[in-house]
Amino acid sequence: MSSRNASIDLPPIPPSVTVSRHLVLELLRAWDAPHDREDAALLVTELVANVVDHVQGEGVLTLELALSDDWLRIAVVDGSSVRPVVHELALDRPRGRGMRMVQAIADRWGAEDHGGGKRVWFELRPPGR
């Protein structure tokens, strides 16, 4: 399989959540990726929303997609060094479930230092592999 890559910078503002979701869906469609597109779109929505919530419009976020050897890797890079946390579910907290979904749906995920900030990524393999 050939590899495909894409990267786009977006402002960390609420409309970027929807834009990133649509970009992922369209790229995976154009690449004819066998991965669950809705899962990928849901997870990228969570990662971008986290940046929007915590960076609050400052700087830039970068959405990165890579498809290689059947694995799909999607990452969001931002200027904050604060790592995401997988919270326990709590009825008194209406938010904070996003990373729990990433943990449950992604085949692999993680966070790493990147240029004074961080890169949060997840990987999906195609169904049946």
CB 108 within 8 A of CB 71: no
Over the stretch 1-43, which tens digit does the pLDDT of each residue have? 579 999 999 999 999 999 999 999 999 999 999 999 999 999 9
- Tell me which residue has tokens 């849901």: 42
Judge: domain 4-124, CATH 3.30.565.10. yes
Please report the pLDDT score of residue 96 as a whole number.
58
CA distance 86 to 74: 18
pTM exceeds 0.85 for this model: yes
* Domain edges within the chain: 4-124
Q: What are phi and psi of 93, to 5 degrees?
A: -120, 105
How wide is the angle at C-alpha 41 spanned by C-alphas 109 and 126, nearest 5°? 65
Q: How confident is the model at residue 93 (pLDDT cuts 50, 70, 90)?
A: low
How wide is the angle at C-alpha 60 spanned by C-alphas 52 and 63, nearest 5°? 80
Mean pLDDT, rounded, for 66-73: 91
The pLDDT of residue 129 is above 70: no
How wide is the angle at C-alpha 113 spanned by C-alphas 112 and 115, nearest 5°? 140
Q: How confident is the model at residue 83 (pLDDT cuts 50, 70, 90)?
A: confident
The pLDDT of residue 111 is above 80: yes
**Percent of the chain's residues with pLDDT above 90:** 66
